[in-house]
Amino acid sequence: MTRTPTTTSTPSGRRRRRRSVAGSVVALGLLAQAGCGSASPAGSDVTLDYWLWESLQLPGYQKCADAFEAENPGVDVRITQYGWGDYWQKLTAALVAGAGPDVFTDHLTKYPGFVTRDVLLPLDDLEATADYDYSGFQEGLADLWVGQDGKHYGMPKDFDTIALFYDARVLEEAGMTPADLEGLTWNPDDGGTFEDVVAHLSVDANGVRGDEEGFDPEQVVTYGLASGGSGGDGHGQTQWSWLAGATGWTYTDARVWGDRYNYDDPRVQDSIAWLFGLVDKGFMPSFEEVGTAPNPTQQLGSGQAALSPNGSWTISSYARLEGIDLGVASVPIGPVGHPVSMYNGLGDSISAQTEEPAAAARWVAFLGSDACQLLVGQEGVVFPARPLGTQAAVEAFGDKGVDVEPFTDLVENDYTVLFPVTDHPADVLSILQPALDAIYIGSRDASDLTQVDEQINALFE
């Protein structure tokens, strides 16, 4: 995800019949009052620094900034965008130096640590967001940003789920159609019909498929399943959360703010063992082949892999691949009887260092409004947290020829598990990452996660 950082300042398948949101633009106009509150006093001169990491989202949020400024004379929103890796490094350095942004895009792996260090202002303590109605967001997203003190530390921004990207031409060469990817089943014992498909889509240097006699797992040209790495840096969000979750396993002992992880559960261990066991079968690239920064998008685009599990935030990246007849399929149905995906959502947080908390709160309230999230959805990059914005994104992706219902159906049907929000997020991942890398490499067994679980849970004692 790392990109060369850029800085910009203002201004700068299957389809269901769905209600169009086009008319909503006229109805909403640029109604900043949908969330931003009253305008700044006449003659005031306030500059708000707002940071985000995704370059593709920059145009949509610039439109939001323009709309907000039109309703708040004297308030200027200055947007700065960095690539994922640079973003957190620069944000941490800026906050340590007391020079952080007023408002920034926050992640669930980061915000518990920010709360512990008193880096964030509770939205409940600021006038524009004190009585905010969070019921208008997609179910469960606002809950992720409620701290242990019961206060909100992030305004829901967007959400993401996991699905399978594929090239329809590769399916055709394999004698398959997109319909053959619907209703696939999976279990950690034999992989179900999903493993059958992954095997058939794997091809060695002699053109022999993985389900045919003579297949050489040491000389693979196309793997049935792309690799996104071990998943240790994000609890297997794109790599194996959709497998383990489909067994009925949950990350922690509570929906939000658990204090005990469940990596000692055989269900998650068996799921991870099945996934990384595909390497020896020749159905998925090895750890050494993909390196420390695997890119499932490129694996699909280059023909190295046939099915590429990834998050909805990558749809635009896949859509830009040349020579690909792109399709999206649901992750397989697990032992629980339906597909499951991790359900993650970003939020916008206010720095405790801001010198303009009132204006920052008005900006954050507007970021969470229908007015802004509709503008973002129309860009067709991510799924905004509000249903109106989500629907706008579905239509925008459809205009690009991409059916995204495998992503949104998971939310509509509540087939999701929440990203784990706990104390000590950085420490948890620092323990988990090397262990999962080693399991992927083959130097440790998945059963060793029981010991890893003990180390992690000791953080909460």
pLDDT tens readout for residues 198-246: 999 999 999 999 999 999 999 999 999 999 999 999 999 999 999 999 9
pTM of the model: 0.88
At how many degrees (to 10) do helices 357-367 and 58-71 cross?
120
Flag whether 155 is in a domain: yes
Q: Is there a domain that residue 2 lies in?
A: no
The pLDDT value recorded for residue 44 is 57
In the three-class reduction of DSSP (H, G, I as helix; E, B as strand; rest coil), residue 155 is classed as strand
Dihedral sign computed on CA atoms, order 277, 282, 285, 288: positive
242, part of any domain: yes
3-state secondary structure 295-335: CHHHHHHCCCEEEEEEEHHHHHHHHCCCCCCEEEECCCECC
- Name which of 346, 338, 326 is nearest 51 in CA terms: 346
38 alpha carbon, distance to own chain's centre: 33
In a shared domain, residues 67 and 178: no
Rounded to whole angstroms, the Cα distance separating 178 from 169 reads 10
Instruction: Tell whether 147 and 191 lie within a shared domain.
Output: no
Domain-embedded: residue 117: yes
Calpha distance 252→423 (Å, rounded): 12
Q: Are residues 14 and 102 in the same domain?
A: yes
Cα atoms in the 13 Å half-sphere on the side-chain side of 354: 26
pLDDT at site 292? 72
Q: Are residues 255 and 317 in the same domain?
A: yes
| Number of domains comprising the chain | 2
> Where among 407, 428, 445 does a domain terminate?
407
Cβ proximity of 164 and 331 under 8 Å = yes
Where in the sequence is the domain holding 442, given as residue range(s)? 162-343+419-458
Domain membership flag for residue 414: no
Residues 339 and 350 in one domain: no
Task: Give domain status of residue 413, yes or no.
Answer: no
Q: Pick from 115, 105, 100, 103: which is nearest to 152 by CA?
A: 115
Among candidate residues 187, 220, 198, the one with its CA nearest the CA of residue 286: 220
* Whether residues 331 and 449 fall in one domain: yes
- Tell me if 286 is assigned to some domain: yes
Instruction: Verify that 228 and 266 share a domain, yes or no.
Output: yes
* Claim to verify: residue 256 and residue 121 sit in the same structural domain: no
pLDDT at 438: 98
pLDDT at res. 31: 36
Residues 327 and 192 in one domain: yes
Half-sphere exposure of 273 (CA within 13 A, CB side): 17
The answer, yes or no, to whether the previous bond of 11 is cis (omega within 30 of 0) is yes
Average pLDDT over the chain, rounded to an integer: 90
Cα(197)–Cα(180) distance, rounded to whole angstroms? 9
Shared-domain flag, residues 383 and 451: no
Under-70 pLDDT residues of the chain: 1-44
Joined together, the tokens standing for residue 394 give 């579905």
Going by C-beta distance under 8 Å and a sequence separation of 6 or more, which residues neighbour residue 85? 1, 2
Contact status, residue 380 vs residue 400, Cβ threshold 8 Å: yes
Residue 420: per-residue pLDDT: 94
Please report, for the domain that includes residue 280, its CATH number. Answer: 3.40.190.10
Q: Is residue 148 within 8 Å of residue 171, measured between CB atoms?
A: no
pLDDT of residue 7: 36
Strand 75-81 to strand 155-160: parallel, antiparallel, or no bridges (unpaired)?
unpaired
Last residue within a domain, chosen from 368, 386, 407: 407
Whether 209 and 355 map to the same domain: the answer is no
- 182 and 331 housed in the same domain: yes
Is residue 235 assigned to a domain? yes
